[in-house]
Structure 1
Amino acid sequence: MSSFSAEPMVPFRKRLQDLEVPEKASATFQCEVPLPPMESAWYKEETRLWANAKYLIEEAGAERRLTVLNVTSDDDAVYICETAEGSRTVAELAVRGGWAGGPETGQGNLLRKLPRKTAGRVGDTAMFCVELAKPEGPIHWLWNQQEVVAGGRVAITAEGTCHTLTISQCSLDDAGEVAFVAGDCRTSTQFCVSAPRRPPLHAPEAPVVKARTESSVTLGWSPPPHGDRPVAIDGYLVEKKRMGTHPWSRCHEDKWVATPELTVAGVAEEGEFQFRVSAVNRFGQSPYLEFPGTVHLAPQLAVKTPLKAVEAVEGGEVTFSVDLTMASAGEWFLDGQALKASSVYVIHCDGTRHTLTIRLVPVSLHGAELKFVANGIESSIRMEVRVAPGLTTKCPAAAVAAREVLARLHEEAQLLAELSDQAAAVTWLKDGHALSPGPKYEVQASAGQRALLVRDVKQEDAGLYECVSHGDRIAYQLLVQGDTSVCVFMSSLGRRCSQGRAFCPPALDRLWGTWASHLFLHKDTAGGCVDAVAWGSAHFEYETSEAHVCVHWYKDGVELGHSCQRFSQEDMGTRHRLVATSVTVQDEDTYLCQVGKDSVDFWSCVCEPSEMFAKEQPALGEVQTEVGARATLSCEVAQAQMEVTWYKDGKKLSVSSKVCMEAKGCTRQLVVQQVGNRDAGEHSCEARGRREQMLSEEPTADFPYASQYCVGPMAMPCSGTRESECLIFQLQQWDTEGGRGGRVVVWLAWFC
């Protein structure tokens, strides 16, 4: 066995005793501290122990107990009980059947062996004891394979078959392997020496001012004395104070300085300064040593923290900063050009700190020199801009309306963005400010998707959220509803189609929260996306468990009353329906059906009709009329609400006394009064589901092959005199590519 002795200031009433137990048993160490209120801690060699399923720590008055449960060979070690004042007692636990000591030979003659590991502190006395069954020689003590000779701090004694090696005033250099050899018998232990778990007791010594200038001073000192029990020192804390002020401030950026010398410069204000120094380690710091007198220092402008290269993402936002030793005006330059504050370049100064934020970073800035200059001093870097693949949406940022997302108070909201490139980098913003991952916000990435989780939603979390990538962005308006027992679908960001309209992502099952409802039936499969055709109707339908319940419908959080012109509400027993007529893209939004505190969400996706003109309309038609009479040109559109435009020879026609335009159901008619030879020519009817989309398209995109379908005059047999001349109209219909538009062409000819 090994033991340690060092006279503490206040010894334990009862010290720990060595224990030997079999595997799977429990081992209890007991000791008594000098005073019952005294704090104590348990250690397994160098590791602090806490009460858990493995260790039971108890206190009863002055008695302290540590129970090691279900011991194994890994528990074979030295255990220490230490008070806050520095007193401690040490004992060893030996596990039978699982001993894990050092290499042994000839173990049959060893009654007491060395432990696997022995731990000691600087300044302690270590004793290594071995007992033989019968005398055997020769006897040798080894330290790191070298024979130990008695003398100085080392003593070797023997009493019968008991042999002891004692090392006094242990130091860190004494650590290593200690072995005992007697004939063919050998046992060894790994000896570890550590510094006491307490702060330095003494302050540094011998303060001196080694050098000084108008703006700097070099201070020096000596380490604190070792004393009877040396304590490890990690470094030194140096502080300064300007005369006439109260607080002390640190003179260095790091927690401490490693060497007993420091040059102090870059003071913010001119004045007389005092200095002091303290030795520190991980357990605390020593008393302060104050430098005698004062030192006069004046500020000098210099760069304290230079610019650092920060990788920016194309279309994202990046911030650069520089710290000066004193407050001074400065200027930013990009490739030699001075920058002015704007919506793209945000310039800010706070005392000695200058910052520049660049928004919507273009990839062209990659490699550009960014420089900050202030009164002759400067700091510069080369910009790094990484190209980031964009979001699936093709719409410009200004054209993307914010989608409303409903979230319950104290629940979790999820915003989901679909990406066209799996490796694309995105930035999440709230009210224009970048969000950092943490306990509140979690950013998740999967194949082609990026999700933002907002945890423990509160009222202040409501606002505008944006997902930005490659200059594109998708916006969401987070609405926070009051606390309720029912969880509402947490919403997601809609994926964008090629025309820039939103539709529901396919994996809806991943976006639904936990529902706790009894009012709605089949709630796990209800709600979701409802498809509709422009100018047609959209049906939102749900079934409740009971009839005659009060149902409220909402669009964008605004309740739809029964008097709304384009929205009708139908209740048929347990089935409830909201019908939206003449829907347009502006009706793409969130719809909510609420009964009491329970609700279900729907989304509408409005697309263009695939056909503009009725399919059953004949490809070629003829119209005959007499001169002076009226001619009626007619065609059938696919939707009754569809708007059409009439043209003659490529020029738009307007309603006048000569021309009349009529719409009855799906029929569109152009009526020409008192037809004459001037009315001959090409007449066309054009229809588009959305006029605003036509304006945004290229002119050639609507009818790239229109000219080949224009037909010329067609002579038809007619009888009678000149007064019975006839007018013939030829009609041809076709669809443009993609079915987004159409035209009916009529050729009006005059014959004798």
Structure 2
Amino acid sequence: MKDKGRSIAEVSVRGMIVKRLPRKLDIMEGENAAFCVETREAVEGICWNRNGQELQESSRTVLKSFGRTHLLVLVHVTREEAGVISFAVGESQTSSQLRVKCVKRDPPSSPVAARMSTEHSNAALLTWCPAPDVHHRPASSYVLERQELSSSEWVHCLTTDLASLVEVLGDSVPCEADYRFRVCAVNKYGRSGPVEFPGSVHLVPAARLERGLQDARVRDGEDAHFSLELSASVRGAWFLNGTRLGDDEGASGRYCVQHCKTEHSLLIRGARREESGAQVTFVSGSIRDSATLQVQEAPVRVVSSNEDAAHAYMAGQRVLLWCELSRADAPVRWYRDGLELEASESLVLEREGPRCRLLLPCARPQDTAEFVCDAGGDSAFYNITVAEAPVRVVGSNEDAAHAYTAGQRVLLWCELSRADAPVRWYRDGLELEASESLVLEREGPRCRLLLPCARPQDTAEFVCDAGGDSAFYNITVAGWCPPGSETVAGQPLLLECDVSPPDAPVRWLKDGEPVVPDEALALQSEGCTRRLMIRSVGLSDAGTFTCDAGEAAASFAVAVSGELGLGLGVCPCTRLC
């Protein structure tokens, strides 16, 4: 055209589709894409395609028809779903180019112009500005964090949608401390780097008393513990009867002051009796709470005793029981099998400061019992056993010569260690009883056995048995026979002669050879009498025995028969002067 103008003519072809799809549709990734087609009349057999593939109804693909209107909705479109969307009915078709644009996933930039004002007491006014590129990288919110100067940990404080100012009050912090703050911008793609506010502020929470002090009741020497809990962690001070306990009280001191989060505690080590009634007070700001220390007298304890020693005694021994108490003025009682004891001649009770003693000077078997030293709150127990002392033979004539001639008087005696001890007499193992020919006597601790007229058959071993001890007597009784008569083998033989003066020396000979005494043959001297005794005569003992006194001598012809008889020995009594 001459004026170089342009004209656009739209040529429409009459068909089933009245309203067609747009040539292209631009949409952001993640949004929903909607397509609408209108037909000349309500029809069936429509078909939606994407890049030549038929679309089916699903959770992310919505297909709807309302009379002549037909809809396709793609939910949360992804970049992979871009392409040609077409609608076809019969021979009519319309299509659209779906283009999906990527969303920028950049986190916001850091805020700027961060400032802190501490003009108001116990508060911090924080201000900042959004980043200059906030329009390209918008922030959805701002996160404020706090940090105690004594800690390296940052803790979330609050989140706000306003980029202007925030006031942090002391009530919003958990404990009293010096704090600093920082802020960062946040959107769904991330968060910016933090920006710290210059300086710091001291904040104190408004605490309430959650759990108050309780009175402490302890015994003398025990530790007393006081504690309380506040609603916030704040500092405080402890006072004892109005005197402040310094913060420098260490764990090793007598007063131990501790603060852990919201709990404050005071430990008084080794409370003293004179501190009973003391006032313990805790002060923190407007909070003031008090309690009373009650110190009771410590219970008496048995600190040492001889209760673990062996307490087995013999009658007559000395028994000493003792225990030492924790307090010298503590009362004490002694018991025997549950009955309280009092001092007497046979029982002595002594006290020397904290040491208590019970003394039995001479224990008796009836003293066997359980003794108790009772100090009230503590006791010592002693199991005492007293046994009778074993009977002993303290004297006897068992070592004397017990060679007798028939008709002589035989006296055996022994003296016991206890006068009331029972005793039994035995002859060759058989217990003896008193008779006309055997007398048993007892006079206190001395026991006697008397044979008024000994007989050869009384030759035997006699025993005085006192239970734990015994005395043994080997008795030999020889009979008389005329010279030249025979002595029966196995029976004792006694040869006897008198000499003058009484100390005259003699020799015994047999068939001219000196006689050597041994276990079977004994030589005895008693005053003027000299004896040769053979306990059991054998055939080899036959011969001539001579008692040689130098200027005088006496001979005995001994014949031994092998037949066992009454056992009469040869005993001519000859005087050598």
State the TM-score, normalized to the length of structure 1. 0.20
* Structure number, greater radius of gyration: 2
State the TM-score, normalized to the length of structure 2. 0.25
Name the structure, 1 or 2, with higher relative contact order (CA <8 Å, separation 6+).
Answer: 2
